[in-house]
Amino acid sequence: MIELVALAALIASFYVAWNIGSNNTGNAMGTAVGANVLSYRRAITLMVIFIPLGAALEGYKVMKPVGTQIIIGNNPFSVLPQVAAAAMVSAGIWVTIQTKRGYPVSVHQAIIGALVGAGLAMGMFPKVVTAQVNWLRLVKIVGAWALTPFTAAFFAFLIYRIFEVPIRRVKAPEKLNLIFGLSVVMSGCYVAYTMGANDVGTAMGAAYAVSSGLNIANIVEKLALLGAIGVAIGSLTYSRRTLETVGSGIMPLGPLTAFAAQLGAALTVHMFTQFGFPVSTTEAIIGGITGVGLIGGMAGIGRRKLRDIVMAWISTPTVSLILTFSLTSLILLV
């Protein structure tokens, strides 16, 4: 019976990975598509290549901390895999709703909010399972979230200023177009790689916690592959709306601004990945776009769209927490 419930938790984690692909593809390739450097089809093709690469090489750096360091106790998700499934379904449902609206929200925040909701509920029933929220680790994660958009904005602003002068010295239009095209595509591929490393690891963290009690060989590699497949399918099937929002809904982007925003976001996410922090590629890319937008003044930024996105960011972990807390409480009471 426990194996069937664990399978349900794995399927729920795959659903969350699908949500990452559907909602966060715009983070990697939205600026390239918005700047008319890449077609939608070619952007998705590159996503399908580089997300699995990042997941395979560095996904474990975030997967293990998310699975074992946020909710601590006597391996609670292995004992109650149905709670892990409830957490992932709660996070996935909210992200699906926001994706349908075209808002690029943080799947990380949805997942962490859901895990905290599960931990709070399990902490109320210590006779059923020993579990509690690791508040110190959570504070550090929230601190990383707060720093992410500002760090990406700083990097993007700096990158734009560094490349602005040498780019202006290039007079040949064909050479300029080639430089722009390569730089935007390469930075977009880097964002996709960091999504594989950070986003996939976050999505499969709960599944790792569940599977740790099943003695499955090479579980990290298998979960990384499964998560990468889920993200790739999400990119292929349901990513167009958020891709359009990131690419043109916040501010008009040229090739240089697209390159600076993408590279600034990728550097930020990759940096936090090395410390095992599940940070939002969404916040990073929006921060990067805003950073380059400040160069031309706030007039170029779609403030209403930006406000709506920020409100979705705030509501995401809260709604996921409440949904998971309610579901977990029902599971433990029945």
181-202 pLDDT tens trace: 888 889 889 988 998 899 888 9
Burial of 252 (0-12, 13-18, 19+ CB in 10 A): middle
37 contact partners, CB below 8 Å, separation of at least 6: 180, 181, 184, 185, 255, 258
Angle at 93 (CA atoms; ends 126, 69), nearest 5 degrees: 40
Most confident of 32-46, 165-179, 189-203: 189-203
- Residue 286, pLDDT score: 82
Confirm if 78 and 122 have CB atoms less than 8 A apart.
no
> Structure pTM?
0.85
> Has residue 173 got a pLDDT over 90?
no
CA dist., res. 55 & res. 195, Å (int): 8
> Has residue 302 got a pLDDT over 70?
no
Across 260-276, average pLDDT: 94
Tens digits of residue pLDDT in 81-120: 899 999 999 998 888 887 777 766 778 889 999 999 999 9
211 contact partners, CB below 8 Å, separation of at least 6: 6, 10, 219, 223
Confidence category of residue 150, pLDDT binned at 50, 70, 90: very high
- Residue 1, pLDDT score: 52
Per-residue tokens: 328? 């977990």
Give backbone dihedrals phi and psi of 243, rounded to 5 degrees, phi first: -65, -40
Mark out the alpha helices in the chain (DSSP H runs).
2-34, 40-58, 60-68, 76-79, 81-101, 107-123, 135-168, 173-194, 200-203, 205-211, 219-238, 240-244, 255-273, 281-293, 303-333
Share above pLDDT 70 across residues of the chain, in percent, rounded to a whole number: 86
Confidence category of residue 265, pLDDT binned at 50, 70, 90: very high
Give backbone dihedrals phi and psi of 71, rounded to 5 degrees, phi first: -110, 115
Long-range CB pairs of 132-140 (<8 Å, 24+ gap) are 132/71, 132/72, 132/73, 133/70, 133/71, 133/72, 134/69, 134/70, 134/71, 134/72, 137/65, 137/69, 137/70, 138/70, 138/112, 140/277
CA dist., res. 118 & res. 321, Å (int): 8
Give backbone dihedrals phi and psi of 278, rounded to 5 degrees, phi first: -80, 95
- Residue 74, pLDDT score: 80
Say which residue, 64 or 107, is predicted with more confidence.
64
Say which residue, 221 or 30, is predicted with more confidence.
221
CA dist., res. 255 & res. 34, Å (int): 9
- Residue 279, pLDDT score: 92
Start-to-end Cα distance in the chain: 17
Confidence category of residue 33, pLDDT binned at 50, 70, 90: confident
CA dist., res. 130 & res. 136, Å (int): 18
CA dist., res. 39 & res. 17, Å (int): 24
The single residue listed with the structure tokens 């969404």 is 282
- Residue 141, pLDDT score: 95
Q: What is the mean pLDDT of the chain?
A: 84
Residues in the chain: 334
Dihedral sign from CA coordinates of 22, 319, 108, 215: negative
Name the 3-class secondary structure at 22.
helix
- Residue 142, pLDDT score: 92
Closest CA to 10 of 236, 325, 222: 222
- Residue 36, pLDDT score: 74
